[in-house]
Amino acid sequence: DQQVKQNSPSLSVQEGRISILNCDYTNSMFDYFLWYKKYPAEGPTFLISISSIKDKNEDGRFTVFLNKSAKHLSLHIVPSQPGDSAVYFCAASPNFGNEKLTFGTGTRLTIIP
């Protein structure tokens, strides 16, 4: 039972354009969401997060949008740069106790120069 889904395994975007990565979740107990970026042969690194009390969080070129009613979040990268080429994982957690993160299956983003 995949509680966090990234339905696009891969995405190619022209350099300078906007990249939009999508993530859906099914568990209504999730109320904290994160995006991680992973290069080959390296561990994932934290990118940006959002709490369910917000619908948008921005950090430089990265913006995460949360639509709680649709159980959907998206990561926008603008403008896209070649160094953004990586696998992106979304992750979710309930906002209580000591709950672990549940990760999606990842989307491989390729930025075309």
C-alpha pair distances (Å), 54 with each of 3, 29, 70: 21, 16, 14
Distance CA 3, CA 25 (A): 5
Contact between 10 and another protein by CB under 8 A: the answer reads no
Question: Which listed residue (42, 60, 83, 113) binds another protein by CB under 8 A?
Answer: 42
Decide: 34 and 91 in contact? Cβ < 8 Å.
yes
Helix (H, G, I), strand (E, B) or coil at 8: coil
Contact between 103 and another protein by CB under 8 A: the answer reads yes
Contact between 112 and another protein by CB under 8 A: the answer reads no
Q: Of 9 and 16, which has the nearer Cβ to another protein?
A: 9
Distance CA 81, CA 31 (A): 30
Least gap, CB of 89 to another protein (angstroms) = 6
Helix (H, G, I), strand (E, B) or coil at 56: strand
Contact between 11 and another protein by CB under 8 A: the answer reads no
Q: Of 16 and 46, which has the nearer Cβ to another protein?
A: 46
Residues that bind another protein (CB under 8 A): 6, 9, 32, 34, 36, 38, 41-46, 49, 89, 93, 95-101, 103-106
